[in-house]
Structures are given as C-alpha cells and as structure tokens.
Amino acid sequence: MGEFRGFGAGATAFFAELAAGNDRTWWLANKRRYEDEVRAPLEALLVDLADEFGEAKVARPNRDTRFSRDKSPYKDYAAAGLQTGPGCGLYLRLSAEGLLVAGGGYRFARDQLSRFRAALDDDEAGGELDAVVATLRRAKADVGGHTVLKTAPRGHAPDHPRIDLLRLDGVTAGFAHPPRAWLQSAKVVAKVAEGWRAVAPLNDWVTRHVGASALEPR
C-alpha cells in the first residue's frame, strides 16, 4: 500500500464554500482544512503515482490577479501536473465538481500551433490523431482545447476532414469524476493512473508532431 488513503470527507465542500467567500479572512480561518483534507492527501497521491509517471508538483493556491478582472485571491480548485514531453503533460484537479484527470498539449504557442495544424493536414499524422481521439472518446474522455475558433483557421477550408481539431489552440483529453465516496479512499490512485495511461498516446503524438516552443511563454 502507498501513502494515499483518500481526500478528506470535506475536500470538495471546501471549494464550494471557498467560491462563496473567497477572501483572505475566510482562507486564513479555513486554511487548516485545506492543508489536512486537500493538500496533504494530494501530495501523498502524487508520491504513489511517481514511480510510474514521474514527479508531479502541486500548484500554489493563490491566483495571479494582476491582469484579471476577477480579483478573487484564491483558486477554487487544487491542481497538480507534470511535463511528460515537449509540449505536453499530465494534469489533475480537485474542485467542488469532483476530480478531473487529464493530459495533452494545452494552449500551444504560435510555432507549436503552426506545427499542430500542419500535422492535421498530413494524412498519416492527422489520421493517427483521429484514431487516438476516437479511442479516448470511446473511453468517455472529453477532448478539446483552451480556445475553440468559431470558424476555420486561415488557410483551411470549413469542410476540412479534421476541422474540429483545427479549430482548437491545443489538444487535451480529460476524464471528469463527480464527487463520490471513493474520493475518500485509496481507489483514487487507480483511477488517476487509468486516466493518465489513457492519455499517454495523445501526449506521444504531441511530442512527435508538435514539440516544444522556441517562443517566450504567453
């Protein structure tokens, strides 16, 4: 057995309450709940997954509000992730909605986006991604991207055989698990591992056909 025994019984409720009272006073009054029921179990979960997937990091709970109209100081979720190859990685998020297990290439930079679209235009590379996406969707994954264009990108016909993918600015896949009692058990380890294994072919495709960006991060 590993270190993880489940998230706290009030873990998802913590984020529902945070969304209703997102300020420093509420956070300080409830910080111990976050540490005990969310962060400590999440770190233990990542330890149990590290041998197979690598070392993931827990994201800080504070929001960067400098360029946002929303000045809420804290994220209404806890997240962790790791990079598995150039341009892609694995992701985990716990919120009031439950647990999201995901991976892929998120919000490609301009040079990555150009390579992504070129690969979709190629029958072999594009067909390979079609097969990966079809398998993920059969497994009930939600496949998408950060932004979806309303029209075809410049230089591509609206009836392109992969127009749904071409309209994305990245390609990710996620498995959404609503709050259930098993979130408070060690079963979470197997659920996350199952989801991360399922997105591995997507990450492999992104690594081979998109790769890392040579540009400054957005």
The domain in which residue 44 lies consists of 11-209
Q: Is residue 82 a part of any domain in this protein?
A: yes
Span 125-170, pLDDT tens digits: 999 999 999 999 999 999 998 888 999 999 999 999 999 999 999 9
Q: Give the pLDDT score at 215.
A: 85
pLDDT at position 148 is 86
Residue 171 lies in a domain: yes
Any domain includes 4: no
Q: Give domain status of residue 215, yes or no.
A: no
Kindly report the CATH number assigned to the domain that includes residue 99: 3.30.930
Residues 3-27 pLDDT 10s: 999 999 999 999 999 999 899 999 9
Reported pTM:
0.93
Residue 218, in any domain of the structure? no
In angstroms, rounded to a whole number, what is the distance separating the alpha carbons of residues 86 and 207? 5
Q: Has residue 151 been placed in a domain?
A: yes
Number of domains in the chain: 1
Q: Please give the Cα distance from 9 to 68 (Å, whole number).
A: 32
CA distance 35 to 46: 15
| CA–CA dist 65, 7 (Å, integer) | 28
Cα separation, 200 vs 56, in Å, equals 15
What is the SS3 assignment for 177?
Answer: strand
Distance between CA atoms of residues 129 and 121, nearest Å = 11
Question: Quick one: tokens of 26?
Answer: 């509420």
pLDDT tens, residue by residue, 70-87: 889 999 999 999 999 999
pLDDT band at 217 (very low <50, low <70, confident <90, very high): low
Describe the strand order of the beta sheet including 57-58 as a list of residue ranges.
57-58, 77-85, 88-95, 98-105, 171-177, 142-144
Residue 108 structure tokens: 């490609």
